[in-house]
Amino acid sequence: MNETILTAAAVQLSSQEDVDKNMERVRALVTEARRAGATLVTLPENFALMGEEEDKRAIAEPLDGALGPIGKELSRLAKELEIAIVAGGFPERTSDPRRPYNTSVLFDRTGALASRYRKIHLFDVDVPGGQTYRESHSTTEGEEPVVARVAGVDVGMTVCYDVRFPELYRILAVRGATVLSVPSAFTFETGKDHWEVLLRARAIESQAFVIAPNQVGEAPPQYDSYGHSMLVDPWGTVLAVAPDGECFVAADLDLSEEDRVRSTLPSLANRRPGAYRWPEEAHLEVPSHA
pLDDT at 287 over 80: no
> Which residue out of 61, 119, 196, 258 is catalytically annotated?
119
Q: pLDDT tens, 134-173?
A: 999 999 999 999 999 998 899 999 999 999 999 999 999 9
pLDDT at 2 over 80: no
Band (1; pLDDT cuts 50, 70, 90): very low
Mean pLDDT across the stretch 38-44?
98
Q: pLDDT tens, 54-105?
A: 999 999 999 998 999 999 999 999 999 999 999 999 999 999 989 999 999 9
Mean pLDDT across the stretch 222-229?
96
Mean pLDDT across the stretch 40-67?
95
How far apart, in whole angstroms, are the C-alpha atoms of residue 119 and residue 104? 7
Percent of the chain with pLDDT over 90: 89
pLDDT at 289 over 50: no
* Topology (CATH level 3) of domain 7-269: Nitrilase/N-carbamoyl-D-aminoacid amidohydrolase (3.60.110)
pTM of the model: 0.94
Say what the pLDDT of residue 127 is.
Answer: 84
pLDDT at 282 over 90: no
Active site residue 21: no
Active site residue 72: no
Active site residue 45: yes
> Which residue out of 92, 160, 196, 258 is catalytically annotated?
160
Domain range summary for the chain, segments of one domain joined by +: 7-269
Say what the pLDDT of residue 285 is.
Answer: 65
**Ranges 36-40, 177-181, 191-195, 280-284: which has the least confidence:** 280-284
**Ranges 123-137, 166-180, 256-270: which has the least confidence:** 123-137
Say what the pLDDT of residue 65 is.
Answer: 86
Mean pLDDT across the stretch 22-27?
98
Mean pLDDT across the stretch 9-17?
98
